[in-house]
Every structure is written in C-alpha cells, then in structure tokens.
C-alpha cells in the first residue's frame, strides 16, 4: 500500500516525520533509483527506497522509554559543542531511539524516547494538548506573584493558554510552584516566570499526560507499560 515517504521513514525508525521531510528535501531519499521530492508516495513492500544510498530498515518492534533526565544534558541526538546528550543515558536499551519533544539542558525530569515516529509526531503535535506538569523553583518572589504567573501571555506571537499554578512553599524571596501547561514553547516556563517578575532557578518535569516521573532515580530509565502507551495513543 502506497504511503507518503516521510510517514514510511518515520514508521521504520529512520527519523521523526519532520526530520524525514528534511532528508527528502535534501535529496537523500530515492525511490526505484529516482530522487524523491516532498509529497511522493511509495509502497515499502514493493518499491526500493534508499536513504543516503542505504536500504530502508526492516520493520521493527517499537519501544517506549521514560527517562529521568538530569540537568546538564541536551536533548539533541548529537551536540557540536561536545556536551553530553540525554540519548547517551538510554543507549543501553539496545535500540536506536529518539527524544519525544525537548527538555532544556538546564531542566530535568521526565523525558520520553521511542523509535515509533508516528507516536512521537502525535505526542508533539499542538492539537494533542497533553497536560505537562512541572515543579518550578524561583527567586525574586513577592506575595501574589503566582497570580501574575497564571495570567495568559503571548510568546513568539502565540497566545499561551493560562497555566494552572499552585504555590507549594515560600521562604523569603524564594518559592516553589507546581505549574501545569499544555503547550511546549521554547523555554516557556522560564520566560513566563521572567514576565511575572521572577527568575526560575530550577525546573523539573514530573508528569506528561498520564505518565508520572515518580521515584525513578536521576539518569535512569524504564520501559512504558502497554497500558501507558495505549492511553497515550
């Protein structure tokens, strides 16, 4: 059955759908000896699909991992500056996997990995609107600042839905919040804190959808259960 090339590449674990589109646009994908263009379709069971001259990987079992990412690790597959990558922490799973979404180098907590490109695409699509829950430590706190943090703001020309903000503790000019957001703009919570007059000193993601970080140690990972994956799909 013919499908769009980027969907085939994503489903076979070559890359995320977005990255697969880039590979096609860069001319690295051929179908039956002809250079592919974005929008082309193919049948992976009948057509010869090559990526940079290499054959399309065979169908594989999908894996889904949850990592407790420590601070100081980037979520890219490699880093030109030589910084440690989160994918190095899940290398012992025995399968090439990719991060689902991102978590800033200075942030920590729940980060998903998978070789299922379609799953990753669904999880990161704006329409999914999964709750993402964070513990947030700040300084420059003043009484009532949580009300400012809970107000809707505009980031990158995009109106952010009002987050749910719960004040957990305060000590002088420092405070700790639990913040629930639905989007995933670049450094969103840190920027929201600055707009509310505070500075975020620590950020940890503790929940995404039905997945909870729990007591998983820093730098360790676990497989998602079939039930957890099914609920996310």
> Hey, which residues does 41 pair with through a beta bridge?
4
3-state secondary structure (DSSP) of residue 184: coil
Q: 138 with 204: CB under 8 angstroms?
A: no
* Nearest of 86, 80, 52 to residue 66 by alpha carbon: 86
* Nearest of 79, 182, 177 to residue 125 by alpha carbon: 182
Query: What Rg, from alpha-carbon coordinates, does the chain have?
Result: 20
Q: Which of 47, 104, 116, 131 is catalytic?
A: 104
Rounded Cα gap, residues 216 and 132, in angstroms: 17
CA distances from 49 to 15, 38, 40 (A): 14, 14, 12
The encoded tokens of residue 219 equal 């730098």
Residues 6+ apart with CB under 8 A from 132: 180, 181, 182, 184, 205, 207, 208
Alpha-helix residue ranges (DSSP H) falling in 161-205: 188-195
The sign of the CA dihedral 230, 223, 88, 71 is positive
45 catalytic, yes or no?
Answer: no
The torsion of the CA quartet 71, 131, 22, 64, rounded to 10 degrees, works out to: 70
* Residue positions annotated with a catalytic role: 104
């Amino acid at each position: 059955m013919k499908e769009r090339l980027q969907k085939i590449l994503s489903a076979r674990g070559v890359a995320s759908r977005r990255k697969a589109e880039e590979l096609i646009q860069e001319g690295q994908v051929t179908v039956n000896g002809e250079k592919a263009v974005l929008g082309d379709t193919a049948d992976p069971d009948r057509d010869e699909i090559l990526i940079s001259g290499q054959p399309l990987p065979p169908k594989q079992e999908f894996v889904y991992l949850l990592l407790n990412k420590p601070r100081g690790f980037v979520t890219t597959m490699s880093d030109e500056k030589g910084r440690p990558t989160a994918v190095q922490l899940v290398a012992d799973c025995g399968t090439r996997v990719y991060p689902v979404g991102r978590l800033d180098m200075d942030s920590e907590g729940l980060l998903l990995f998978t070789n299922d490109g379609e799953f990753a695409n669904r999880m990161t699509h704006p329409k999914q609107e999964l709750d993402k829950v964070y513990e947030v430590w700040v300084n420059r706190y003043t009484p009532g600042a949580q009300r400012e943090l809970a107000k809707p703001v505009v980031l990158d020309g995009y109106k952010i839905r009002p987050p749910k903000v719960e004040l957990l503790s305060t000590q002088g000019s420092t405070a700790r919040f639990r913040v629930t957001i639905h989007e995933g703009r670049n450094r969103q919570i840190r920027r929201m804190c600055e707009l509310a007059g505070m500075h975020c000193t620590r950020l940890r993601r503790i929940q995404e959808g039905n997945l909870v970080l729990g007591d998983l140690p820093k730098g360790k990972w676990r497989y998602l259960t079939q039930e957890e994956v099914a609920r996310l799909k």
